[in-house]
């Protein structure tokens, strides 16, 4: 049987390629936008200027970009003019939409905290990475589970002593408690068990700070002790430079620099590997308790002064130079950088008792509600919420920052047991 080959529709001289090269002649942006005007002329009176406004704006912006010497998508420093463009069509202005985050001016939860001391030099509040709130009330330390609202008493120092500072470890498993007698106690919050006691201070320990396995403690005896909890002889360094009580301590996020503030109005910078101060900053005119390192910018430190100072100062800790100074008009009690945005929270005492949100050194929101000085401040592990404490014996929870997508603790509105009561 003879098979007749099928006839080809193409001659053997034709050559083909697997590449398809489109014709982009009609994609010329300027010529395409010019067609808007042609369409308008052809339609005449039925053409709607309002419906074409967006297209006209695009024409102007793309035309100016293509015709100018600048290159599209080129990296450059922001000039602050990108959102100031105004397009005029007819007699109306069209501006790009700008979305502003709304910050609630009311706390979403208020808890009673009886015996929360009204003392500027103490630090009685912390929020651990395991979503536990640690609060020192009188001689006791309580743990509030923010996910379940369960309250646990961690310890009671008895009638002859009181809690003067609390701080949770970076991973949240341990809590250090400073006492009026000068002791530092290390507790395991999962087992509700005292691990060890650290002695050495001769007066109250008003501030504590963690750096990996190192615990730093500042005291009224003017000393700063650095202890490594992994070592049997835990004391690794003794820092002496302050002339009065040490009331503020914060380690930088790279764990290399320690900032300390004292009642002698001094802000001192230390290095992890030295017992000698790196820098002594004397710009404040009152006690320096409020300290905060930026998690976004290397070497950026904010400090706040007491009643006679009322300023927030930003520092470049590598050069020791002051970047800027803000007069807040009120005693600065605490500072915290947002984890999710380039913003700062400050809490204040005499005489406004406010919580203020700052961005680019400008005030963007003021929260009120406390009737006493807002002496205590902590931020949630997801970076969305803050909790503030005051001598009015209340803890107030505020949702002030957007969620960053990395951590999402469960919220609960269930009623609490003593010593806290939901309001």
Provide the β-strand partners of residue 311. Answer: 327
- Residue 246 contacts residue 120 (beta carbons within 8 Å): no
- Residue 204 contacts residue 164 (beta carbons within 8 Å): yes
Query: What pLDDT, on the 0 to 100 scale, is given for residue 52?
Result: 56
Of 369, 294, 362, the C-alpha closest to 110 is 369
Handedness of CA 265, 223, 270, 206 (dihedral sign): negative
Domains delineated in the chain: 122-332 (2.130.10.10), 333-404 (no CATH)
Which residues have a Cβ under 8 Å from the Cβ of 54 and sit 6 or more positions away? 94
Handedness of CA 211, 214, 217, 222 (dihedral sign): negative
pTM of the model: 0.74
Provide the β-strand partners of residue 198. Answer: 184
State both tokens at 92: 């109306």
DSSP state of 355: E
- Residue 412 contacts residue 147 (beta carbons within 8 Å): yes
Query: What pLDDT, on the 0 to 100 scale, is given for residue 101?
Result: 76
Q: What are phi and psi of 25, to 5 degrees?
A: -60, -30
Structure-derived torsion over alpha carbons of residues 198, 201, 205, 209, reported in degrees to the nearest 10: -60
Query: What pLDDT, on the 0 to 100 scale, is given for residue 297?
Result: 94
Query: What pLDDT, on the 0 to 100 scale, is given for residue 378?
Result: 98
CA-to-CA distance for 397 and 415, rounded, in angstroms? 15
Residue with tokens 């395409």: 32
Which residues have a Cβ under 8 Å from the Cβ of 321 and sit 6 or more positions away? 315
Provide the β-strand partners of residue 348. Answer: 332
Query: What pLDDT, on the 0 to 100 scale, is given for residue 35?
Result: 55
Query: What pLDDT, on the 0 to 100 scale, is given for residue 156?
Result: 97
- Residue 226 contacts residue 236 (beta carbons within 8 Å): yes
Radius of gyration of the chain (CA): 31
Q: What is the pLDDT along the chain (423 residues), one digit of tens a residue?
A: 554 554 444 555 555 555 556 555 555 554 554 555 555 555 555 555 555 555 655 555 555 444 444 443 333 344 444 443 333 334 344 444 445 678 999 999 999 999 999 999 999 999 999 999 999 999 999 999 999 999 999 999 999 999 999 999 999 999 999 999 999 999 999 999 999 999 999 999 999 999 999 999 999 999 999 999 998 888 999 999 999 999 999 999 999 999 999 999 999 999 999 999 999 999 999 999 999 999 999 999 999 999 999 999 999 999 999 999 999 999 999 999 999 999 999 999 998 999 999 999 999 999 999 999 999 999 999 999 999 999 999 999 999 998 776 544 444 333 233 344 444
Query: How far from 373 is each of 100, 307, 323, 344, CA to CA, in Å?
Result: 30, 11, 28, 19
State both tokens at 78: 């922001």
Which residues have a Cβ under 8 Å from the Cβ of 250 and sit 6 or more positions away? 209, 258, 259, 291, 292, 293
CA-to-CA distance for 263 and 400, rounded, in angstroms? 31
Query: What pLDDT, on the 0 to 100 scale, is given for residue 38?
Result: 54
- Strand 376-379 and strand 385-390: the pairing is antiparallel
């Amino acid at each position: 049987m003879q098979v007749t080959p099928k006839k080809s529709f193409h001659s053997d001289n034709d050559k083909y390629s697997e590449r398809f090269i489109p014709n982009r002649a009609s994609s010329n942006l300027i010529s395409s936008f010019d067609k808007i005007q042609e369409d308008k002329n052809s339609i005449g009176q039925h053409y709607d200027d309002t419906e074409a406004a967006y297209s006209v704006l695009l024409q102007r912006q793309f035309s100016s970009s293509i015709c100018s010497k600048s290159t599209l998508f080129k990296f450059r420093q922001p000039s602050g003019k990108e959102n100031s463009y105004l397009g005029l069509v007819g007699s109306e202005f069209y501006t790009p939409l700008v979305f502003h985050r709304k910050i609630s001016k009311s706390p979403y939860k208020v808890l009673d905290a009886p015996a929360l001391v009204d003392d500027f030099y103490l630090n009685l509040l912390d929020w651990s990475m395991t979503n536990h709130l640690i609060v020192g009330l009188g001689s006791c330390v309580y743990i509030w589970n923010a996910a379940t609202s369960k309250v646990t008493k961690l310890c009671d120092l008895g009638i002859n002593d009181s809690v003067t500072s609390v701080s949770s470890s970076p991973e949240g498993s341990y809590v250090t408690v400073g006492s009026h007698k000068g002791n530092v106690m290390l507790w395991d919050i999962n087992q509700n068990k005292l691990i060890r006691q650290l002695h050495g201070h001769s007066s109250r320990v008003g501030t504590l700070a963690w750096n990996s396995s190192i615990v730093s403690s500042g005291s009224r005896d003017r000393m700063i002790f650095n202890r490594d909890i992994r070592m049997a002889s835990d004391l690794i360094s003794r820092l002496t430079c302050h002339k009065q009580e040490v009331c503020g301590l914060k380690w930088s996020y790279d764990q290399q620099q320690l900032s300390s503030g004292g009642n002698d109005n001094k802000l001192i910078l230390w290095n992890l590997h030295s017992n000698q101060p790196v820098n002594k900053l004397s710009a404040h005119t009152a006690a320096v308790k409020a300290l905060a390192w930026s998690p976004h910018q290397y070497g950026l430190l904010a400090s706040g002064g007491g009643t006679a100072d009322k300023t927030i100062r930003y520092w470049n800790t590598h050069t020791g130079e002051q970047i800027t100074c803000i007069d807040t008009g009120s005693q600065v009690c605490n500072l915290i950088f947002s984890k999710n945005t380039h913003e700062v929270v400050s809490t204040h005492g005499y005489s406004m008792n406010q919580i203020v949100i700052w961005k680019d050194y400008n005030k963007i929101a003021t929260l009120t509600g406390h009737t006493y000085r807002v002496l205590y401040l902590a931020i949630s592990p997801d970076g969305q919420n803050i909790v503030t404490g005051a001598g009015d014996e209340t803890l107030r929870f505020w949702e002030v920052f957007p969620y960053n997508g990395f951590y999402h603790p469960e919220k609960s509105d269930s009623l609490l047991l003593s010593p806290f009561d939901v309001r």
